[in-house]
Amino acid sequence: MKEVILVGLNHHTAPVEIRERISFPEEELDRYLKALYDLPSVAEGLILSTCNRVEIYAATKVPDKGVEEIKAFLAHQHHLSVPEFENNLYVLQGEELVSHVFRVASSLDSMVVGEPQILGQIKEAYRTAHTAKGTGTLLNKLLHKAFSVAKRVRTETSIGNGAVSVSFVAVELAKRIFANLDEKEVLIIGAGEMCELTAQHLVRGGIKKVLVANRTEKRAVELAERFHGEAIPFSELPHALLRADIVISSTGSQDVIVSKKDVSAIIKKRKNSPLFFIDIAVPRDIDPQVNTIDNVYLYDIDDLQEVAEANIKDRQHEAQRAEEIVSTEAKQFCRWYQSLEVIPTIISLKEKMEKIREKELGKTLAALPQLSEKERRALEALSEAIVKKIIHAPISLLKKESRNSEGETYVDVVQKLFGLDEE
């Protein structure tokens, strides 16, 4: 019987330097999924790669082998050795895995509890894997249930009220550097969802003007128009840095796009006017060394944790209610999963008993040819009643115990007692 395993790392277990080396570029995810599905032990698979986490979900009949193959897969795809990141990994199975997936989807494991982006990211990861025909019964059921649990958490708690995303935290940091945003200009590098959310928060905060630079000019123009801002050709990025007071960067680039050398030259032309960078990309867009330049302030995704923690405190009560929902739902899901093995065992037991009944009844009837049709039917009914009474207790026990963690043990016992494992 297949089991779901999860191998991953996140902002709790790995610094950004490790996460960015393990991350999977969105535009190449199909290629990585194909390589994942080529692993001998992986029957179903999904890759979730965000700023804060990289997780691989897989259904397999050999969990231990599956874990080792996935570790080797991560190493091979990113040109690393397993020891370079193994200590940052977590490996989950069973109820612990189910609970984790539900918590992630419900934004209980996010850097900022209650942020809504992660659910969309999981849905997109699932959609990509499903389109690639890489999901089956187990992952389909697990992910759809996770979406349902996330919706229930949002509906029954206030954890999402005044949603605080990483982009909102970035704006809070900007306000710490600049007391007043009214006369400031912000340059958004990248035009994805995170950048759009950041722009929304900044406009609400009173920012004077929004500049947008993106490799796809059409997308930059669309986003700039939405905020009555200005699209900047990506080739004119240095000129835009001269104008901007705040730079928010979140592209999918695998390389640094703003170097220390670039910023050193720009800050002189700015006559040392402060320049504030927030790099919310993984891998990072901004060279970390720019933080050594006078009047330049740089925060990366991990630096946002400080502000995030303050926001988390305001949500602890609602988060506790959400945790209770997740716990209940995880237990129910695991009961469903355990029942998957109970049902075939019950069917096998009934079929074996019926074969024995028919065989023995046939022998008896053959030895008693003088019996009337009424007597033959009576013997048939008697044999059926005896079999039902014999298997009633083990079947009832299996159904009952399938609801708890001992269900698998009882399945094994019944299979051995009635010789079902030999067939």
Q: Which position among 7, 47, 51, 149 bears the catalytic label?
A: 51
Parallel/antiparallel/unpaired status of strands 185-189 and 230-232: unpaired
Q: Which long-range contacts (CB under 8 A, 24 or more apart) does 345-348 make?
A: 345/398, 345/411, 345/414, 345/415, 345/420, 346/395, 346/398, 346/399, 348/415, 348/420, 348/423
51 is known as an active-site residue:
yes
Q: Which residues contact 40 (CB under 8 A, 6 or more apart)?
A: 65, 69
Instruction: From residue 208, give the alpha-carbon distance in Å to each of 130, 267, 352.
Output: 43, 21, 78
Write out the two tokens for 365: 């009837």
CB 282 within 8 A of CB 253: no
Task: Single out the residue of 104, 21, 10, 9 nearest to residue 282, CA to CA.
Answer: 21
Q: Which residue has the tokens 């867009």?
A: 285
SS3 212: strand
Q: Is the peptide bond before 274 cis (omega within 30 degrees of 0)?
A: no
Burial of 271 (0-12, 13-18, 19+ CB in 10 A): exposed
Sign, Cα dihedral of 226, 230, 236, 239? negative
Whether the CB-CB separation of 67 and 78 falls below 8 Å is answered with no
Spatial distance between the Cα atoms of 317 and 322, rounded to a whole number of angstroms:
9
DSSP H/E element including 417: helix 407-417
Q: Which residues participate in catalysis according to the annotation?
A: 51
